[in-house]
Amino acid sequence: MMNIRNINKLMILCFLALTQCSEDPLDKRPLGAISEEVVWNDESLALGFLNNIYSRALPGWATTASQLSDDAHGENGYMYGEAQPGSMNIYSGSYTTIKDINLLLANIGTGTIDTEVQNLMSGQALFFRAHLYFRLVSTYGGVPMVLEARDKSDIEALQVPRNKTSECIAQILSDLDEAAELLPIAYPNAAADYGRITKGAALAYKGRVLLHYASEQFDPSQDKGRWQAAYDANKAAINLLSANGKGLHPSYENLWFDESETNPEAIMVKRYTLDQSHNRDAGCRPFIVGTNGESFDKPTKSLVDAFPMKDGKAIDDPSSSYTYDPTALWVDRDPRFSATIAWNGAVWPLNNPAPNRTSDLEWTFQESAIEGQADSRITPTSFNCRKAIDGSIEGGAASLSSPTDWIEIRYAEVLLNLAEAANEVGLSAEAYDILIQIRERAGIEPGLDGSYGLAAGMDQDQLRNAIMHERRLELVFEGKRSSDLRRRRMYETINGTYRQGYRITKTASFDALDPSEEILDDRIALEEGINNGSIDLNDPSVYNTYFNTELRSVERFGNIDDDGSAINYLDSYYFFDIPQDELNKNPNLEQTNGWPGGTFDPLQ
């Protein structure tokens, strides 16, 4: 018999499903009349329960992840070695959702719901249990693997020790394998069920799990031999996905706005609407008075410099067909550059009100926003992120409610996962081929040798660096860079450094563009000159006529004259501490090594 607490939860979660999903709109049985038997015998109620799991477990836009990397500005304490014990707390919330997943898995087969529907629901629930446990394991190392719904009153049953990390990974993989067996390649009503977990998503996620488990976070000495399993899993995912219509979207820039089941690149998606929206657009766009001061994904100089030229060669590669100029740094770059980054003077159509926008040109020089509050919020790096930003959304309050879907797993990521694993098992030719596919879709020129700017004859270490570099560019601002730095223990490569940007100011020549003393009038005059062709900011000498550019640190306390605080990501952050509240509740929990009182080895 199900405990009354669980029945109450079911009644609360399923009442909306009962009143909203029932075929009979007049069928509004009293809340107290919904029993355990009714729930698991009513497909709509059970689906409502599953949908609630989706809403809590499915990842959304990673708006602050880039702050934990070298890609964006962000004065986050983790980057300075100042994380307090318990600050990384995803523990109890994850287990709350896992409990509901276990509840569904235990009860979905007890009623009269069609067996095929039961299997579909079970497959989705198993996927999310694997996802939540992997999120926990990636954060803390091994955690208690609770696979049954347990009542809070059963204290002894809840006070279980941490499983070894290897045991957790084994169970996660088992759940994903079982989910893949139960899930369809595509749902019969593909349009209505777009966003539901499929067999392809389960296989792709398994590949991601094994890629992480093979990496240095879980295997610092790289002597566990886990890369072959990662390769096999990602190869299986690519084979199934590509055989069933998945692949790279024709447009790197526009793939985010193809929100339908026909998007070949979307493997795992969180859907948004105006009623269930996110605020990422407001934080990436230039600040507009009326928003809340969100600030996301402000690109650093390091990221800007990382994009190659149009021929795929690095900006400092003398063999490139193009000459890089540090003033007109946007000219002749990898097409992903302009699809990702907006610079001072860039063409970026945005539906922003005047005086923020008086043309399709973006301005990031000091005082360019005209209004005092907005001027104080000009991007500190001089760059804004335009990736996946819907310029048609009205600026200001409306941009706080963006409906653009989040793609948690793209086909490009699965390809890059495969390339990385292929290189580690000695299949360099396959890794090369994948990098070429990625760069070809990006629009990079093939060159006479068809290498798309990739150096020939790279050894394993060089190819590994090339793959990680390509991941940084292709998956930028998707929450993957900080994850990559952590799983491959690459924070040591940026520790002691300082993220930088530019401070751009107007010149006397800018002030002389219009007879009035208003900056806005001068800016409009400059825009008119650019639009009629009399002023070409792609010419460095012309650009410097109107703007001064100074390098600055964007670290905490940093400015033009002071580097501020250096990056100092600690080794203990590769596996965080269990929050003290959880230790107090469960005396059988060990704290993670590297934290006060820690005895649990997350590498076992």
Report pLDDT digits (tens) over 386-441: 999 999 999 988 999 999 999 999 999 999 999 999 999 999 999 999 999 999 99
CA distance 582 to 584: 5
pLDDT, residue 376, reads: 87
- Contact criterion met (CB below 8 Å) for 557 and 565: yes
- DSSP letter at 427 equals -
pLDDT, residue 237, reads: 98
pLDDT, residue 2, reads: 34
Two structure tokens written together for 56: 């809590």
Every domain of the chain and the residues it spans: 36-63+84-244, 276-404+500-553, 410-497
CA distance 43 to 37: 12
- DSSP letter at 475 equals T
Residue 233 neighbours by CB under 8 Å, 6+ apart = 203, 206, 207, 209, 210
CATH code reported for the domain at 36-63+84-244: 1.25.40.390
Residues of the chain with pLDDT under 70: 1-34, 152-157
pLDDT, residue 4, reads: 26
- Contact criterion met (CB below 8 Å) for 403 and 419: no
pLDDT, residue 336, reads: 98
- Contact criterion met (CB below 8 Å) for 479 and 65: yes
Please, what is the angle between helix 43-57 and helix 115-140, to 10°?
A: 20
pLDDT, residue 150, reads: 79
410-497: same fold as 36-63+84-244? yes
Note if the pTM is more than 0.75: yes
pLDDT, residue 153, reads: 62
- Contact criterion met (CB below 8 Å) for 539 and 331: no
pLDDT, residue 158, reads: 73
pLDDT, residue 372, reads: 82
- Contact criterion met (CB below 8 Å) for 578 and 140: yes
pLDDT, residue 522, reads: 97
- 309, β-bridge pairs: 333
CATH code reported for the domain at 410-497: 1.25.40.900
